[in-house]
């Protein structure tokens, strides 16, 4: 349903309307725009380094691409930008097309010239300060009358663990929020990423697992992962040769892992564009192959299938 494939057009600038992350005394980025990036108890924010390997791990890694390279999908212009708007941002009408039945209706607080993801997915991500509501649109287009249209849209309360209705998509095929899984440069400066990272793979199964809410596939092939599947970088993978800023991401991939959120390219992990990214340093991540990862079983952390709240790992 939603491709997740990101085609970049060189030379096109992307504006990121950014607010500085709120730093704790320990220097950890906990908030964005004065809002939590979901509660601390949310499965996105739970470490999985001590969770068991999924029994299907070997075949899921093989099916995803054991020889495929890890790809950090962010740069000065590449990635998914986050637009941060004030509480009193005027609301704008938006019409949803094919995904209307599973979309949260407008209006949305879309600024006059928001940063839009470059490529066919054309995501528009808006974080509204004060309300801490996250508005996410897939395939967004501005119309001549200054209203908008999109394939589908979802609204998340960043202070809540509520999931989408069962079976509903979002601006991502898995029915999950996008912004909480993005790598942000402020987190690199803070020295630690404290959440799972959004990822894509080429083929998924006609199935979703918690916290996923929606599938986007016609195959039941068990060699392909389900939407919502958690992966992590193996604990024994040596990251000492990578640049310090790259090690921040790799430590997060070991501790918090990745959540499969959309169909796309193999082992693509998503971040927000920022002029401070050192593309040469992060290009070294391409040396990491699918064989360095393993699927993780987080099912024991689930409290309710309709909530993203998770039990603390034992």
Q: Tell me: the pLDDT tens digits for 268-286?
A: 999 999 999 999 999 999 9
pLDDT at position 24 over 90: no
Name the more confident of 134 and 25: 134
Give the domain range for residue 217.
22-301
Residue 191 lies in a domain: yes
pLDDT of residue 17: 37
pLDDT at position 5 over 50: no
Residue 203 lies in a domain: yes
pLDDT of residue 196: 98
pLDDT of residue 21: 37
Residue 64 backbone dihedrals phi, psi, to 5 degrees = -85, -35
pLDDT, tens digit, for every residue of 226-241? 999 999 999 999 999 9
With cut-offs at 50, 70 and 90, classify the pLDDT of residue 18. very low
DSSP state of 311: P
pTM beyond 0.95, yes or no = no
With cut-offs at 50, 70 and 90, classify the pLDDT of residue 98. confident
List 92's β-bridge partners, or say none. 108
Euclidean distance between CA atoms 81 and 65, whole angstroms: 28
Residue 3 lies in a domain: no
| No. of helices (H) and no. of strands (E), the chain | 4, 16
Residue 207 lies in a domain: yes
pLDDT at position 12 over 60: no
pLDDT at position 28 over 80: no
Total number of domains constituting the chain? 1
Instruction: Give Cα 184 to chain centroid, integer Å.
Output: 11
Residue 10 lies in a domain: no
Residue 7 lies in a domain: no
Residues with Cβ within 8 Å of 100's Cβ and at least 6 positions away in sequence, in order, are 152
Here the tokens at position 134 are 């996250």
Euclidean distance between CA atoms 7 and 196, whole angstroms: 23
Euclidean distance between CA atoms 106 and 94, whole angstroms: 5
Percent of the chain with pLDDT over 70: 90
pLDDT of residue 29: 46
Check if the beta carbon of residue 215 is closer than 8 Å to that of residue 278. Answer: no
What single string gives the DSSP state of each residue in 31-89?
Answer: EETTEESS-TTBGGGS--TTSPBPTTHHHHHHHHHTTPBPEEE-SSS-S--EEEE-TTP
Residue 34 lies in a domain: yes
Euclidean distance between CA atoms 273 and 74, whole angstroms: 6
pLDDT at position 11 over 60: no
With cut-offs at 50, 70 and 90, classify the pLDDT of residue 10. very low
Euclidean distance between CA atoms 45 and 163, whole angstroms: 15
pLDDT of residue 314: 83
Residues with Cβ within 8 Å of 26's Cβ and at least 6 positions away in sequence, in order, are none
pLDDT, tens digit, for every residue of 290-305? 999 999 999 999 999 9
Residue 307 lies in a domain: no
Check if the beta carbon of residue 227 is closer than 8 Å to that of residue 166. Answer: no
pLDDT of residue 147: 97
Residues with Cβ within 8 Å of 232's Cβ and at least 6 positions away in sequence, in order, are 48, 49, 253, 254, 255, 256, 257, 258, 293, 294, 296
Residue 277 backbone dihedrals phi, psi, to 5 degrees = -60, 135
Residue 60 backbone dihedrals phi, psi, to 5 degrees = -70, -40
Check if the beta carbon of residue 99 is closer than 8 Å to that of residue 152. Answer: yes
pLDDT, tens digit, for every residue of 79-96? 999 999 999 999 999 999
Mean pLDDT of 89-116: 96
- Average pLDDT of the chain, as a whole number: 91
Check if the beta carbon of residue 49 is closer than 8 Å to that of residue 254. Answer: yes
**94 CB burial (10 A radius; 0-12, 13-18, 19+):** buried
């Amino acid at each position: 349903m939603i491709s997740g494939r990101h085609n970049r057009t060189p030379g096109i600038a992307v504006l990121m309307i950014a607010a500085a992350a709120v730093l704790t005394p320990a220097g950890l980025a906990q908030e964005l725009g004065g809002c939590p990036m979901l509660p601390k108890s949310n499965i996105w924010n739970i470490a999985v380094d001590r969770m068991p390997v999924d029994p299907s791990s070997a075949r899921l890694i093989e099916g995803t691409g054991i020889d495929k390279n890890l790809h950090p999908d962010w740069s000065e212009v590449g990635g998914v930008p986050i637009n941060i708007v004030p509480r009193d941002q005027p609301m704008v009408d938006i019409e949803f097309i094919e995904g209307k039945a599973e979309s949260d209706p407008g209006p949305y607080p879309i600024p006059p010239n928001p940063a839009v993801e470059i490529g066919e997915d054309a995501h528009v991500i808006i974080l509204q300060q004060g309300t801490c509501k996250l508005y996410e649109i897939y395939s967004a287009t501005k119309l001549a009358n200054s209203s908008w249209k999109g394939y589908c849209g979802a609204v998340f309360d960043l202070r809540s663990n509520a999931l989408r209705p069962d079976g509903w998509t979002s601006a991502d095929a898995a029915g999950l929020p996008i912004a909480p899984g993005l790598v942000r440069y402020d987190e690199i400066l803070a020295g630690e990423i404290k959440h799972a990272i959004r990822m894509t793979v080429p083929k998924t199964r006609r199935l979703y697992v918690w916290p996923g809410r929606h599938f986007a596939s016609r195959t039941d092939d068990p060699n392909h992962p389900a939407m919502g599947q958690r992966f992590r970088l193996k604990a024994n993978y040596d990251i000492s040769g990578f640049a310090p800023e790259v090690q921040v991401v790799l430590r997060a991939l070991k501790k918090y892992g990745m959540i499969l959120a959309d169909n796309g390219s193999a082992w693509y992990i998503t971040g927000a564009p920022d002029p401070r990214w050192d593309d040469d340093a992060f290009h070294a991540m391409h040396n990491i192959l699918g064989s360095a990862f393993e699927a993780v079983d987080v099912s024991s952390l689930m409290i309710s299938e309709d909530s993203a709240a998770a039990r603390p790992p034992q």
